[in-house]
Chain A
């Protein structure tokens, strides 16, 4: 019978299901040693004035060049003044050093007068320099921000900055995978900032150590890119190496037409690849945390670690109720530093200063949310409040929309772009004992100025606090 059996070809091995992190990692391995240590290729390197001078100096001493200036972008943001006044000498020298380094090594640079200048983690996405599937590094721990685009982005030290400048690679071992899912839709008055504070509260400040965290679930998918950046930005406050969110239509829509985003045929090619990035349905995570959006209220931190986050309706905790000995000591130390007494209602804590800005919450949507609460209201007479846009373009857009006027009429100062009082390296800082409601990301001792006391909140919550003169629940203003 002329019936021939087909040669038995075994069915192709089903591809191993992979996470978003694993897909990006695998696509960037240049070399792998037997012990798992890899040389990883870096697609984008962001450089700023504070953590780069010693790296350029190292290159110079070894007679090395910048391997790919075209994959690098430099900007001054940490030290720069937010008023038109002069910089202190040391800051000026640092900015001048950056300027001479970028000139010497041929690195593209947004100079001090460039309207695109701003916080490095705000301008990357804004310019389309941040794209899905990329590896992105910067000598700054909040590089995790860029993970919002489905890019593997993390902070590195200055020696590694030098390593990337010289080789466009890093030596690393892969991280573990964690998935944090926030299901359901966020209640009114609750923002991305509240979500990430709630997550850090659950994970703890070291809970993410060794992991790359992928945020998922409906609440994350429903967020704008600005909100997703806020979430990924603070991944490092849970100790995570990086944060990631799968790219989707929201991501692509945000990126389309940005100056450095691919154009024409390259866009279509890129889009095809980006759509394949999300974690496979059956991918395995080493750890998983699930939250319900409806359980997350507006949050505020009370202590000196970002994990010290509570619902605004809560009271200052008592160290006697701490879960363990370490926490008990840490809480007691925090309370002494913060000048707070257990049992005090958070909404009864008076504040002196308000800071709206930073790479966590200094983007246009943050300023819109803040302006919405500020409109037609007045900052309390006991409070001094400032708004610092994340970039020159954010500032220009806010001014085009008239947000600056709303803030100024309400009694806020409207400043030039930069990191400003997020780390208080320039003239913007808290005085000893001053208490601040801040939209930044760290409430460490002395972070915003020696002896300064920081309460981390969302932009809308910061405005509510400015108006009431105490920490406040934004839901009372809506």
Chain B
């Protein structure tokens, strides 16, 4: 049984941060992670349950200079259908298209997906290869302050991030793509819908003269957090995307991940998938 003593549904960021500052707060967005996890006894509610869905300005997609800013309570469905996302970060829309089911996408938020910090979270890998940053707000001394950090550095373990207890994740920001920018996402689930990723792969870079530069490769569900694959990136950076490069990169990918056995797959199979599908994605990029 739960011991929620107080329910709050603030309308402004200022108010929300004030409540957070008092401590002992569980943040509720779409609830699609929070509710199953509390019910299963994996996490316990704190004294205050704060619903952030009414907080003005936390939802929606907008330009912010050279960045695309996505508010923390923007739902997966909203991202999937957003024209700015489609144009400037299509790979994120693609990830949302493989995310859960309509019902979950209508409730689940991108802020929740990031904050839940699952190594299998579907938006994380594409966001990392897009060089996304998170924006965190707090009100330590009566005034609102914000800080930003690259998403790739944000995760510290399964369910753990660098967010302080008094901070709220307010947005995730993606730099607008350079000319020639390509990005791909692949999610392996045992079935095409409603599945948690067995592995996922994100690849991005700038394609010029048959080679990729500014390469970013990230993998999901092969480590305690989503991870950048530096050795795979190195095997690709600036090289012509020919069969030999692709095979070298796919081998590097298989060798650098260190997944585990669980009910969904063995480590061996995950490594095989990483190899085979990294290769297939690079083949497609080369042919495109």
B is bound to A: no
* Chain A residues proximal to chain B, CB less than 8 Å: none
